[in-house]
Amino acid sequence: MDKIQELIAKQIQETTSHNKNIIRICHNLELTFEKTLPALIQKEIEKLPASMLQLEVIQIDLEYSVFNFISTHLCDVIDSENIQIVRRLTILPLEIIVRNIATGSFSKRYGIPDDGSINFEPPLIEFCLKDDTLGDPFILPEAAKAIGLLSFKIKSGEIIDIKESTIKSLAFLINFELQDIFKQRGITLVDFKIELGVDENGKVYLADEISPDTCRFWDMKTKKKLDKDVFRQRTGDLIEAYSELLNNLNRGDV
């Protein structure tokens, strides 16, 4: 397979298919888990149960769960080889953050309670510029459009602008479907961030993982945190929290 891009925990490859609009993502599940966790606890990785080395499996299952309702990059999964077959897309240089509850950096930024007492209805959507050198700063949708971040050349040669309303509508739909999935399992989806991509015809897709690495999850009754905040805030055992999340998701078909 011809390699397109090598990342920390995955390799993006061409496929042998005649359909040039699909590519392969080959996952190294152990490296995925190492990437997900800060270096301070990587030494504990050999002690983890096998299921905890498969955080990407949660991602894949969730993407399949919303597959019938949402346009995603995911086309197929080869479980035995940890491979996803995905659409070839041009990725928007933005991170889209969807917030259902005020917490984390949002609460800190505005000096408001971080205890789950402030809910957003409808959900709050924020745009961030994907640029590590700038610290992924917040950007207004109007600014993103003004500097050309939402302009793409499609197969016909036409330059199109992705509308703010298109991005927000897809983000709202993803949030609605995921909230329903987690609510059935006693979990609150607090917030999450995603990336979107555009195909050669200008259609917008979810083109990112949905996993404990990119979302905040709380137990619906106790508000116990089941995500990376457990490590960030030193409030408990991260492995235990992730295991609990995985067990909850395995209640029935996700």
Domain boundary among 87, 103, 131: 87
Q: Is residue 30, in this structure, part of any structural domain at all? A: yes
pLDDT in the model for residue 140: 97
Answer yes or no: is 216 within a domain: yes
Q: Are strands 215-219 and 187-194 parallel, antiparallel or unpaired?
A: antiparallel
- In this prediction, residue 50 carries a pLDDT of 38
Clarify whether residues 177 and 82 are in a common domain: no
- Higher pLDDT: 2 or 40? It is 2
Residue 242 lies in a domain: no
Angle between helices 55-65 and 238-249 (to 10 degrees): 30
Same domain, 150 and 188: yes
Tens-digit pLDDT profile for residues 83-101: 677 788 899 999 999 999 9
- CATH of residue 131's domain is 3.30.470.20
- pLDDT above 50: residue 32: no
pLDDT of 156 strictly over 90: yes
Asked whether the beta carbons of 31 and 9 are under 8 A apart, the reply is yes
- Is residue 43's pLDDT more than 60? no
The reported pTM is: 0.79
Q: What is the Rg, in whole angstroms, of the alpha carbon atoms belonging to the chain?
A: 18
Count of structural domains within the chain: 2
Residue 175, domain extent: 90-237
Question: What distance in Å separates the CA atoms of residue 254 and residue 251, rounded to the nearest whole number?
Answer: 8
Residue 180's pLDDT is 87
Question: Going by DSSP bridges, is the β-strand pair 10-14/3-6 parallel, antiparallel, or unpaired?
Answer: antiparallel
More confident residue, 116 or 59: 116
| Higher-pLDDT residue of 36, 227 | 227
